[in-house]
């Protein structure tokens, strides 16, 4: 633990363990957020809106939030608050999306969230077939029809011969200690660097299928710079036509560019430090192809 | 799939569909072009044929717009039904239509699954609790 906490301290933080609340996302394809709140309150579930999220609700109940009739009816999806941010950032502008790619989609939390923002075609990829079954179940439960799912590596996306004007790359990452109590025992710097190389490959693949003027959102639930700012810095260096965009959220901290010794432009990326946001750790960058 | 739909209604509920292996889908014109690229799934999932046809909740919702063959249950029976249980006929709030096969609706008019009247019992043939059971399997 000390090694990683020491790194966070070197980035100007005062890290501590946190217990994050249980959060859900109202499925507005089946009901409004307000109607869902009313229904859940009738079930004696405490519900509070999350002010920085479009569809997010904080819940508290004596029973599992995954064992209600409303859940089975697809009126909501269980999703951490920070995990709801990348899709919201992908659609932060009002420009209509034509064709959207979710590169590492299973089990479908973010894919199904994308469907709440657009009726346009969504292509979802993942390599793990068992997780694709979960994605398919979620698409059925949430009544979503505009998603096409492929069992393939994100790195092979160009084989589909399609172009996209919005891409979400929620990259596989080393995770963080909030969601996994044994995270500190399992992780090493060499493992994190290996993960970072894979993420950079995925970024390169996303670039090849992104239309000019298209938006690419890169996110991870990792707090490690190798998987976040360092990857974005390398990617931008090799693609001068890609530029970072501001993320106007009322929560999250700008990347500590000076302490990380990266381009000041990377201040536009945001970090969710768990001890500050009371969420899982997260990193989000929004880029546009000029 | 059409045989299954006919248990509830003679109406043409699904006008156009595609089959990917055992799975049935309604697809858009864009999705139709992707079929040759070997998708895992696409469009609106309607159900799966293994030994018998197993409908999706999407298909049951579509059928619900065209059929009168329905039963309505209260909150207690709703919970028992989504837990996979058969129900007593006497506990059903409303029974409508001639077919022994019925969609099961709660008091909010939401489809919970379907089943069949058999003597004093209403047999559960599919319910939305299946989403949780699938994850366990």
Tens of pLDDT along B19-70? 999 999 999 999 999 999 999 999 999 999 988 999 999 999 999 999 999 9
Q: Any idea which residues of A carry the catalytic annotation?
A: 221
**pLDDT on residue A184:** 82
| Mutate which: B41, B43, B54, B62, vs A, most A CBs within 10 A | B41
pLDDT in tens, A99-122: 999 999 999 999 999 999 999 999
B64 touches chain A (CB under 8 A): no
| Mean pLDDT within B76-91 | 97
Tokens describing residue A104: 């590492």
Give chain B positions within 8 Å (CB) of A123. Answer: 34
Residue with the larger pLDDT of the pair A183 and B99 = B99
Q: Cβ contact (<8 Å) for B42 and A140?
A: no
Give chain B positions within 8 Å (CB) of A143. Answer: 57-58, 61
Task: Reply yes or no on whether the pLDDT at B93 is more than 90.
Answer: yes
The list of chain A residues with pLDDT below 70 reads: 1
A67 touches chain B (CB under 8 A): yes
**pLDDT on residue A113:** 98
Beta bridge partners of A58: A23, A48
Percentage of chain B surpassing pLDDT 90?
A: 91
A121 touches chain B (CB under 8 A): yes
Q: Give the end-to-end CA distance of chain B in Å, rounded to a whole number.
A: 25
> In this structure, which long-range contacts are made by residues B76-82, counting pairs with CB atoms below 8 Å and at least 24 apart in sequence?
B78/A69, B78/B106, B78/B107, B78/B112, B79/A69, B81/B112, B81/B113, B81/B115, B81/B124, B81/B127, B82/A69, B82/A72, B82/B112, B82/B113, B82/B127, B82/B128, B82/B129
Give chain B positions within 8 Å (CB) of A129. Answer: 40
A143 touches chain B (CB under 8 A): yes
Q: Cβ contact (<8 Å) for B129 and A72?
A: yes
Closest CA to A56 of A36, A87, A81: A81
Average pLDDT value over all residues in chain B: 95
CA of B43 vs chain A CAs: smallest distance (Å): 4
**pLDDT on residue A1:** 59
What is the DSSP secondary structure assignment for residue A13, as one 8-state letter?
-
Whole-Å CA distances, B95 to A135, B74, B79: 35, 13, 18
* Option in B40, B45, B112 nearest A140 (CB): B45
Least confident among A122-136, A175-189, B80-94, B104-118: A175-189
**pLDDT on residue B137:** 66
- Residue in the structure block whose two tokens are 């993960």: A195
Give chain A positions within 8 Å (CB) of B135. Answer: 134, 137
């Amino acid at each position: 633990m000390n090694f990683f906490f020491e790194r966070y301290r070197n980035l100007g933080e005062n890290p501590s363990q946190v217990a994050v609340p249980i959060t859900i996302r109202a499925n507005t394809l089946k009901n409004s957020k307000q109607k869902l709140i009313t229904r859940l309150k009738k079930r004696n579930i405490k519900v509070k809106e999350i002010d920085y999220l479009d569809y997010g609700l904080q819940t508290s109940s004596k029973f599992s939030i995954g064992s209600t009739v409303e859940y089975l009816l697809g009126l909501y999806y269980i999703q951490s608050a920070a995990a709801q941010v990348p899709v919201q950032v992908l659609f932060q502008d009002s420009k209509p999306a034509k064709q959207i790619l979710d590169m590492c989609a299973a089990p479908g939390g973010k894919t199904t969230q994308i469907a709440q923002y657009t009726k346009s075609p969504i292509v979802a990829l993942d390599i793990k077939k068992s997780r694709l079954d979960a994605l398919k179940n979620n698409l059925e439960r949430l009544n979503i029809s505009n998603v096409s799912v492929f069992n393939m590596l994100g790195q092979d996306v160009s084989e589909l011969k399609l172009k996209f004007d919005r891409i979400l790359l929620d990259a596989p990452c080393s995770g963080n200690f909030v969601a996994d109590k044994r995270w500190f025992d399992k992780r090493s710097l060499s493992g994190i660097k290996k993960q970072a190389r894979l993420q950079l490959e995925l970024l390169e693949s996303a670039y090849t299928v992104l239309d000019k003027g298209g938006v690419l959102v890169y996110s991870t639930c990792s707090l490690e710079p190798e998987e976040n700012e360092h990857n974005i810095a390398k990617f931008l260096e090799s693609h001068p036509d890609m530029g970072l965009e501001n993320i106007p959220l009322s929560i999250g901290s700008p990347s500590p560019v000076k302490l990380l010794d990266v381009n000041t432009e990377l201040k536009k990326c945001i970090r969710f430090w768990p001890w500050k946001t009371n969420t899982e750790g997260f990193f989000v960058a929004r880029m546009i192809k000029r | 799939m059409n045989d299954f739909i006919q248990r509830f209604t003679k109406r043409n509920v699904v006008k156009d569909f595609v089959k990917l292996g055992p799975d049935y889908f309604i697809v858009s014109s864009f999705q139709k072009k992707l079929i040759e690229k070997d998708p895992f799934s696409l469009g609106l999932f309607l159900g799966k044929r293994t030994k018998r046809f197993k409908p999706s909740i999407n298909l049951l919702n579509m059928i619900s717009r065209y059929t009168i063959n329905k039963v309505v249950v209260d909150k207690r029976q709703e919970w028992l039904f989504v837990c996979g249980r058969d129900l007593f006929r006497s506990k059903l709030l409303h029974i409508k239509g001639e077919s022994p096969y019925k969609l099961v609706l709660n008091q909010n008019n939401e489809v919970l699954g379907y089943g069949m009247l058999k003597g004093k019992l209403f047999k559960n043939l599919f319910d939305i609790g299946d989403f949780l059971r699938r994850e366990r399997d």
